[in-house]
Chain A
C-alpha cells in the first residue's frame, strides 16, 4: 500500500462514506484525463483519415482506413523539413540568447557589484511589473527600422532572438540563483589567483548547470510555440517557423482539413518528446515560475 498524502487516511478509508468519496474522486479524475487527452488523440488519429471519410455521413470517430501516404505528401508540399530546420534554428538562438545574455546580466548584478548595477536592476524589475501593452507598434517600428544604423530586420531571426535577451523574468531567476552561491567560494578562488573570468568559467559555470538546464528547456519549449512576433516578422516562406506556417494553413480555405490536422500533429511531436525526456525539469520550472510570478 502506498502512503496517502491527502485528507483521507487509511483508517478513514475503511468507512463507507469515505470509500464513496474516494471512488467518486477517481471517477472525476478519469473524466478529467479523458477531457485532456481525447481531443488531442482525435487530432492525431484523424490526421490520417481521408478527406472523403472526413465529410462522410454519418461521421466516424475512429477512422476506417489509414492514409499514411499523406505524411510524405505533407513534407514535400509544405517543405516540412525546411520548416523543422527553421524552427530548430530559431529555438536554438532563443535558448542561446536567453542563457548567455540573461545569465551574464544576472551574474553581473549579483556578484560584480558594479556602479549603477542597482539602477539597472530596478529598471529591469520595473519592466517586469509594468504592463507592456503600449509597446506593440513601437517594437514593430524598431524592427522595420532598427535604431542603430536603421537596418530593416524583417524576415530576420535577430530581433526575435534579441527579445529573448530581454527577458526580465530570466534575469531575476539567474540573479537570485547566483545570490545563493556563497561569496566565500568565489573569494577563495580569487585568493588562489583566479581572475574574474576564470572564476566565472571554472567555478560559477559548473555550479550553475541546473539553472542553465531549466532555463534552456523552458526557453526551447517556449520558443517552439512562439507565435505573435514570428508571425509579424517572418513573412518570407524561406524563414517561416512551424507555428507561423500552421496559422497560414488554417486560413487557407482550399486546403483539406486532414492536411491541417497532420501539420498540427507534426508540430506537437517535438515538444511532446521534449516533455517525455525532461518531464521533471519542465514541471519544476513551471511550478517555480508560478510561485515567483
Chain B
C-alpha cells in the first residue's frame, strides 16, 4: 500500500517534470520566434493590412480621413495615365519574354556543349549579375547616351550607323530597359538551366544517335522536354518580376519620355510620394497585387505538377 502511493507520487513527479519541460521548451521556442515575429509584423503584415484598408479611404498624409468606398479605385482606373501604365506593363512583359525569356536557355545549351574554356564563358555570363542593380541601370543609361560620345553610338558610329536617340525615343524605351534587365539577369538563369541540362541521361543521346537523330532533333526531343517544367516555372517568375519593375525606369528614364516607360509600381510610388495621395497609391498596389496573385496561383499549379512528376 505504502509503496503504491510512493510509485504514483513519483509518476506524478515524472509527469510534472515532463509538463514543465514542455512549457520550458515552448517558452524558449517562442523567445526564438519573437524577434522575427516583430520584424514581420511591423514591416510586412501590418503594412499589408493597413495598405488594403487605406485603399478604401480618403487620406491626408498617411492617415485615413473618411471612408470612400471604391472611389480611389474609380479615380485610378479612369486616370488616363494609369491606363497607359497598364499598357506599359503589358509591353514590359512582352519584351521581357521576347528578349530575356529564352536567351538564358539557349546560352545554357551552348555552354553545355563547350569543352574547353567553359569556366571562362560561365564566369562571363554570370559577371553582370554581381553588379548592383541600380549601378547596372545607371551604367546603361550612360552607355545609351544619345550624343555621339555615348559608348553605343560610338561603336555604331564606327559601323557608319546612328547616332541613335536610344532611351529618348519613346518606342525604344521599354525594349531597351528590358535589354538592360536581360543583360543583368540572363547569366544567373542560364546557370540554373545548365544545372538541369547536365542531369540529362547521356544514354538518351546515344539511343537517339542510333535512330539517326540530327543535332536539332536531339535538342527538340531530349533537352526541351527535360527542361520544360523548369522553363515554365522560370518564365512565370520572370513575368511576376518584370510586372513589378520599378528601379530601372526610376533610375534610367524617370518614367519618361512622356510617361512612355512608367510602370505600375512607379505609378504607385508617384501617387504616394510625389502627389501625396496614399489612398490612390494603395488602390494601385491592390490592383497590381490581385493580378500578381493570379500569376502566383498559376505558378503553384506549374510547380506542383513538376514536383509530382
Contact = CB atoms under 8 A, between A and B. Distances in A.
A134 B36 contact: no
A181 interface: no
A74 interface: no
Given A8-B215, A107-B32, A132-B44, A138 B51 contact: yes
Contacts of B164: none
A112 interface: yes
Interface stretch (A75-83, A139-147, A205-213): A139-147
Interface in B26-41: 26, 28-30, 32-33, 35-40
A129 B230 CA distance: 18
A123 B244 CA distance: 22
Contact of B32 (A108, A147, A271, A291): A108
A108 to B, nearest CB: 4
B281 A136 contact: yes
A26 to B, nearest CB: 7
Of the four ranges (under 10, 10 to 19, 20 to 34, 35 or more), the interface on chain B belongs to: 35 or more
Q: Which of A136, A142, A227, A247 has the most CB of B within 10 A?
A: A136
A275 interface: yes
B268 A113 contact: no
B13 interface: no
Majority secondary structure, B binding face = helix
Given A131-B244, A147-B46, A136 B272 contact: yes
Contact of B138 (A135, A168, A264, A286): A264
A268 B206 CA distance: 45
A7 B219 CA distance: 8
Contacts, number: 296
A292 to B, nearest CB: 10
A225 to B, nearest CB: 3
B125 interface: yes
Contacts of B24: 196
B28 A287 contact: no
Interface residues of A, number: 104
B292 to A, nearest CB: 4
A197 B264 CA distance: 48
B28 A197 contact: yes
Interface stretch (B78-86, B94-102, B114-122, B170-178): B114-122
Contacts of B278: 137
B139 A112 contact: no
Interface string B150-193: 01001101000000000000000000000000010001110110
Interface of A: 1-2, 4-9, 12, 17-18, 21-22, 25-26, 28-29, 32-33, 35-37, 39-40, 42-43, 54-55, 57, 59, 61, 97, 100-102, 104-105, 107-109, 112-117, 120, 123-124, 127, 129-142, 144-147, 159, 162-163, 165-166, 168, 171, 196-197, 221, 224-225, 227-228, 243, 246-247, 250, 257, 260-261, 264, 267-268, 271-272, 274-275, 279, 282-283, 286-287, 290-291, 293
Interface of B: 24-26, 28-30, 32-33, 35-40, 42-48, 50-52, 54-55, 62, 107, 109-117, 120-121, 123-135, 138-143, 148-149, 151, 154-155, 157, 183, 187-189, 191-192, 195, 197-198, 205-206, 209, 215, 218-219, 222-223, 230, 234, 237, 240, 244, 246-247, 251, 264-265, 268-269, 272-273, 278, 281-282, 285-286, 288-289, 292-293, 296, 299-300, 303
